[in-house]
Amino acid sequence: MGEIVNCAAYSNGKRIAEVQLPEVHHVLKNPDHFVWIGLHEPSEALLDKVQKEFVLHDLAVEDAHRAHQRPKAEMYGDCLFVVMRTAQMNKDCKIDFGETHFFVGDNFIVTVRHGNSISYSDVRTRCESTPDLLSKGQGFALYAVMDFIVDQYFPVVHEFEKELEIIEDKTFKEKPSRETTEQIYNLKRELLEVKRAISPLVDICNRLMRFDIKCISEETRPYFRDVYDHVVRINEMVDNTRELLNTAMEANFSLISISQNDVSKRFAGWAAIIAVPTMVAGFYGMNFKVIPETEWQYGFYAVILVTVSLCVLLYILFKRSGWL
């Protein structure tokens, strides 16, 4: 049973006993008690035992076993099934996504963690330190864990904002490059993953606040407004960052295009300057016996002087126009 992180019974907001899984159904007979059990990547055999103890729906248990579900909230009879995706930054400044499933009944809550997800032991400890709030039942425990999961997205989004500032500095203060474009693309892809994880929570929180769900007491529903506000805020931060990234991408492309145009202008300017001596040399390189001024003793120097003068004049004109 190493996959069971914690299993305890509560009454009036106070932890009254550690409970073994086979004994849960005895505790559930008392309407004044509720059971909070935490699982971490449970096996199919363990989930089957949990299903029998709490009488969970087959489809919900199947989703909890497979994981990789879209965030959602569904009712199976009197049991609420909620799926949330977790996110946290690792040492390599990359996002580690996980998944948490909740089964909430009249007097129980089961949390199932998958992947890289922070343990909820601290959440449980905080709830136990406020028995007046935990006395509201399993609905408050659901709120506490959901709020903890959503709050973990704030450091992730703040890290994105820092990366955006670095990209903006590279875009406008350094020479535009493909490397910057690749960084923008990678950041946009990570933001899209966060968007997919956080966006459905808006509807989930609305449902938990407004719909009549028996396993969540009426006095607990307003707490989900706090989660809703955090979700909306994170959603807006993600949207703002994505919008700024789109602008940075367009600016980077524009600067690359301008840089290429500048190079083309320089090539065209130098080509025009070189064309002058090439043209003069072409005239005097023709195989004709009689060419005007060929027998003048200063003719060579005059041609060189005129050629150099024209080249200098073109250089000055191109320089003033910004082509060189």
Task: Provide the token pair at 288.
Answer: 């004709």
Residues with Cβ < 8 Å from 62, sequence gap 6 or more?
none
- Tens-digit pLDDT profile for residues 95-147: 888 999 999 998 899 999 988 778 888 999 999 999 999 989 899 999 999 99
In order of their start, the domains of the chain are: 1-130 (3.30.460.20), 265-321 (1.20.58)
Single-letter amino acid, residue 114: H
Q: Note the helical H segments in 120-177.
A: 121-128, 131-134, 138-151, 153-173
Collapse the DSSP code of 186 into the 3-class scheme (helix H, G, I; strand E, B; otherwise coil) and give the result. Answer: helix
- Tens-digit pLDDT profile for residues 18-37: 888 888 888 888 888 899 99
Q: With the CA atoms of 49, 52, 56 and 60 taken in that order, what torsion angle do they form, in degrees rounded to the nearest 10?
A: 40
pTM score, two decimals?
0.78
Beta strands across the sheet bearing 72-76? 14-18, 4-11, 33-40, 108-115, 95-104, 79-89, 72-76
- Tens-digit pLDDT profile for residues 151-187: 999 999 999 888 888 888 887 777 767 788 888 888 8
Which H helix or E strand runs over 63? helix 58-66
